[in-house]
Structure 1
Amino acid sequence: MNDRTLSGSYTGATIARPRTAPLLPALFAAQRTRTPDAPAVIGADGTVVTYAGLGARAALFAARLHALGVRPGDFVGVCLRRGPDLVAGLLGVWLAGGAYVPLDPNHPESRIALVLEDAQAPVALAERSTADKLPTGTRVLLAEDVTGEQPGGAPEFVDEPARPAYVLHTSGSTGRPKGVVVPHEGIANRVRWLAHRHRLGPTDRVLLKTTVGFDAAGLELFSPLVSGAALVLAPDGAERDPATLLAAVADHGVTVLQGVPSVYRRLVDEPGWERTTALRLVFSAGEPLHADLCRRILERAPGVRIWNTYGPTEASVDITEHLWDPDQDTGAVPIGRPIGNMRVVVLDPAGRPVPVGVPGELHAGGIGLALGYLGRPDLTAERFVPDPHTEGQRLYRTGDKVRWRADGVLEYLGRLDQQVKVNGVRIEPGEVEAALAAHPWVRTAVAAAEPDPAGGGHRLAAWVQPRGEAPAPTSCAPSCAAPCPTSWCPPSS
């Protein structure tokens, strides 16, 4: 393991990690051997990549990354759009021994540069259409240049449960995103649970619509690939266009769909649900789920099972799940019970377990915990605390207020801090306020989430106090309908 990347990143006694099951690269390799000619990835345009083809492409990426010096424990930036090479590239990073660091091509170049700097990634994987988003001087491997036969000396993946699998940068209260380092054993445990618990198999089609920079994408990406199912790639922008998203579900016979309630609220009003006859599992996460929305989904897709899941990035996507009971007509759907190999504890401010029905802070433990925050030992020590009841183990303080029901099910009650969720995205208002306050025209700024007048969740709003007299607003360009100060926009606006 690369000591540079994790030194000082987490506190507490070292956890003995017994091997319980193969990790995702090994599970994919086994599935490839069993069903080499089965469809593994179905592109938005209908292009089909078999398990054998995906494995060969991933091995080629791994060989090229290894030749560029990527070694176990290194971080590799991945700036690829949604396509078969994104899937092969992520697997290739793992086969080379590295951990992937998603770089969203739709993000500002300043944020991409910040994430790369934070990860100290020696190389980034991109394509010609995204390479210009990377900072000058970045060592880039273009997907278009990864061609031909696999060269000799390709690395062989070695199962190391505690090795980092990926780093996701979440919103930070200081204005600087923080990198969450997730180990292979964490994401493997969550994916294995989903595939086994919900009996994914060769007849299933799982839709990838989540941007890979969000942890939920890990479930969409890898749960089909370890179970013989096919991964269906949604068209670019489908996550923001309900009609396109529903068409992808119907056209490709998607059986498993994951999303946030605010997306589902827009989706249920779309025509065309009668074509989604293959859909059998609907997962909701990221925001509170209410029974009225479940009822509307069930009306449009009779027979589907709707699961409410809960979990932070720091615990490998999800730690609890609950099957909605159609007899529940109103109110929030509970977040349920812990998944396999995870533990949840509800504690008061003094660290004592609370009785049934009494609110407290949810603490998460188990195999899914992240290794910590990249280069942030202070924050890691604050959020990943020693488990007072299990020697040598850690608990992650989620900051979420919950309570136990008498039947052993958890109910979500809200946040204990100022963090908000907008369309399922975790946002620290302080990060937005810091970005606004950095502008020379702004004296102070306040950000908050408020109900969206259009319905379906919340929107992010901000209020600023100007510094002196700001120039009168003008139109940026003929193509820009909204008035705004010209100097705020890039020349291409």
Structure 2
Amino acid sequence: MNKDKWTKGEIEENTVYGLFKKTVSSYPKQSALIDSSQTFTYEQLESIVCEIAASLPQQKQRFGIILDHGYRQIASMLAVLKNASAYVPAEPFLPDRRIQYMFSESKVRYVLTQKKYRKRIEKMGFLPILIDELSFRLKIDDTLLTTENYALPLDLAYILYTSGSTGKPKGVMVTNSNICHYIRAFRHEFHPGLNDRMLQYSVCSFDIFTEEVFTTLCSGACLVIAPESIKDDIEELMKFVKKHQITEIDSFPYLFLKMNDLPEIPDCIRLLISGGDVIRESYIDKLVNDKDHPMIYNTYGPSETTVCASYFHIRPHTALSDGTYPIGHSVLDTQIELVNKDGQLCQIGEPGEILIYGDGVSAGYSGNRPKESLAFFMDHLNRKGYRSGDLG
């Protein structure tokens, strides 16, 4: 996707705020977000987004976000996107040194935050914008549905930093178009609807967070934010899931291993999505063999390709001989190829490096990283690709 001019319809379909605004217009009274038993409709959430956006000093900037999980955090991200800017998320529990590195490399000046983190952010040399000092009157009027979306599809949406296990953390630059591609892929496979409720469980520095939040709020479903106090207690978490009738859970396989050990799980759950690590048959043997089990998926995809590049629908007796599951088929508008050490396409049964092509391939890395950036390329068919370094 490389254009100089965009139609109004293309901007609406290929920017996150454009899709969210379209959802607000279609379902203004629908529940959009539940936080600490407080429910916000789509039009109420949009009102908060507009108030935060109005407080931002500039457009086309990169804003840091250090906020506790809750409606303010979600609304702040949407406000930054409405502003045609990009956000760099950081969990408050991260060391100051890491946060300072991430924000400095990505050229952050302002940080959306709350009063209790103000001094810490100022000490790091950044300017705080205190979201918890805004009034959030939730006033609904006709101006909501005509508020401007300043973003374009190729504008950056966020910069997500990797763990840095092989050196300094790398900031993956993801565009609005990349995220909207993934929203379409998610809809195509999982069909989220007005009756769906997605658990917001992941930290904001994992791309699972993107899958939880934006596929939900751009599809008319409801995002339910789990309190930090119950995240490590599987029984309390399942009580929360049952109370709020959550239908979709997206997480690392270890959460599903804990669920597998329970006598039963809430019957409201229709979809479990595992990603970020290998899932083994022993982790979910009871879940997958229960005749009333939810749909369970294994997914694969580095952050450089915007969440998932492939899906595998797990059913009984579909594990491989080593007890793990395949990574499945490529998601909508994505192609996956395996190549050998000579760069030639592998034959069936031959191992090779996984190459990923499609609209999910991100804009590359933040900062000056010429060596790492060689993983991104254009092939002879003019497809944007990413060399994963993984074998398939």
TM-score, normalized by the shorter chain, greater than 0.5: yes
- Secondary structure of 1:240's partner? coil
| Rounded Cα–Cα distance in structure 1 between residues aligned with 2:174 and 2:155 | 8
| Rounded Cα–Cα distance in structure 1 between residues aligned with 2:162 and 2:38 | 33
The match for 2:233 among 241, 246, 254 is 241
Instruction: Decide which moves more: 375-384 or 224-233.
Output: 375-384
Identity of aligned residues (%): 28
In structure 1, the partner of 2:281 is 291
2:300 pairs with 1:310:
yes
2:130 pairs with 1:139:
no
Q: CA shift at 1:174, angstroms?
A: 5.8
Summarize deviations over 1:198-232 as a string: whole Å, max 9, x none: 12111110000001111110010111211211100
In structure 1, the partner of 2:388 is 398
The match for 1:96 among 57, 63, 83 is 83
Residues 66-145 of structure 1: pairs in structure 2 closer than 5 A: 68-69=57-58, 71-72=59-60, 74-136=61-123, 137-145=125-133
| Rounded Cα–Cα distance in structure 1 between residues aligned with 2:217 and 2:52 | 18
In structure 1, the partner of 2:49 is 58
| Rounded Cα–Cα distance in structure 1 between residues aligned with 2:371 and 2:242 | 44
Instruction: Decide which moves more: 347-356 or 158-167.
Output: 158-167
The match for 2:366 among 371, 374, 383 is 374
Q: Structure 2: state its 5+ residue gaps.
A: none
**CA 1:171/1:148 → structure 2, altered by over 3 Å: closer, same or farther?**
closer
Instruction: Identify the structure with the greater helix proportion.
Output: 2
In structure 2, the partner of 1:166 is 158
| Counterpart residue type for residue 203 of structure 1 | N
CA contact (8 A) 1:103 1:112 kept: yes
The match for 1:337 among 329, 339, 348 is 329
- Secondary structure of 1:279's partner? coil
CA contact (8 A) 2:188 2:332 kept: no
Q: CA shift at 1:48, angstroms?
A: 0.4
| Rounded Cα–Cα distance in structure 2 between residues aligned with 1:174 and 1:214 | 17
In structure 1, the partner of 2:242 is 250
Q: CA shift at 1:265, angstroms?
A: 1.2
| Rounded Cα–Cα distance in structure 2 between residues aligned with 1:313 and 1:376 | 18
| Rounded Cα–Cα distance in structure 2 between residues aligned with 1:173 and 1:328 | 32
Instruction: Decide which moves more: 372-381 or 222-231.
Output: 372-381
In structure 2, the partner of 1:181 is 173
CA contact (8 A) 1:80 1:127 kept: yes
**CA 1:379/1:56 → structure 2, altered by over 3 Å: closer, same or farther?**
farther
CA contact (8 A) 1:268 1:300 kept: no
In structure 2, the partner of 1:206 is 198
CA contact (8 A) 2:85 2:151 kept: no
Summarize deviations over 1:401-420 as a string: whole Å, max 9, x none: 10xxxxxxxxxxxxxxxxxx
Q: CA shift at 1:324, angstroms?
A: 1.0
In structure 2, the partner of 1:363 is 355
| Rounded Cα–Cα distance in structure 2 between residues aligned with 1:384 and 1:267 | 38
Summarize deviations over 1:302-338 as a string: whole Å, max 9, x none: 2311111110000001000011121336621110111
In structure 2, the partner of 1:157 is 149
Q: CA shift at 1:300, angstroms?
A: 6.2
In structure 2, the partner of 1:458 is none
**CA 1:286/1:301 → structure 2, altered by over 3 Å: closer, same or farther?**
farther
Q: CA shift at 1:244, angstroms?
A: 3.1
| Rounded Cα–Cα distance in structure 2 between residues aligned with 1:30 and 1:170 | 32
Q: CA shift at 1:343, angstroms?
A: 1.4
Summarize deviations over 1:429-485 as a string: whole Å, max 9, x none: xxxxxxxxxxxxxxxxxxxxxxxxxxxxxxxxxxxxxxxxxxxxxxxxxxxxxxxxx
| Rounded Cα–Cα distance in structure 2 between residues aligned with 1:270 and 1:294 | 11
In structure 1, the partner of 2:316 is 326
| Rounded Cα–Cα distance in structure 1 between residues aligned with 2:370 and 2:165 | 14
- Secondary structure of 1:335's partner? coil
CA contact (8 A) 1:96 1:155 kept: no
2:15 pairs with 1:27:
no
CA contact (8 A) 1:292 1:329 kept: no
| Rounded Cα–Cα distance in structure 1 between residues aligned with 2:340 and 2:118 | 48
In structure 2, the partner of 1:36 is 28
CA contact (8 A) 1:195 1:224 kept: no
Q: CA shift at 1:376, angstroms?
A: 2.7
| Rounded Cα–Cα distance in structure 2 between residues aligned with 1:171 and 1:87 | 22
CA contact (8 A) 1:95 1:155 kept: no
CA contact (8 A) 2:68 2:92 kept: yes
| Counterpart residue type for residue 52 of structure 1 | E
CA contact (8 A) 2:365 2:373 kept: no
| Rounded Cα–Cα distance in structure 2 between residues aligned with 1:301 and 1:78 | 43
**CA 1:239/1:190 → structure 2, altered by over 3 Å: closer, same or farther?**
farther
CA contact (8 A) 1:279 1:301 kept: no
CA contact (8 A) 1:277 1:301 kept: no
- Secondary structure of 2:218's partner? coil
CA contact (8 A) 2:319 2:326 kept: no
| Counterpart residue type for residue 59 of structure 1 | C
| Counterpart residue type for residue 49 of structure 1 | F
Summarize deviations over 1:255-284 as a string: whole Å, max 9, x none: 01111112221232245x35x111001101
Q: Structure 1: state its 5+ residue gaps.
A: 1-13, 403-493
In structure 2, the partner of 1:464 is none
Q: CA shift at 1:251, angstroms?
A: 1.6
| Counterpart residue type for residue 27 of structure 2 | T
| Counterpart residue type for residue 56 of structure 1 | S
CA contact (8 A) 1:42 1:233 kept: yes
| Rounded Cα–Cα distance in structure 1 between residues aligned with 2:147 and 2:63 | 15
**CA 1:16/1:166 → structure 2, altered by over 3 Å: closer, same or farther?**
same
CA contact (8 A) 1:113 1:135 kept: no
| Rounded Cα–Cα distance in structure 2 between residues aligned with 1:381 and 1:179 | 11
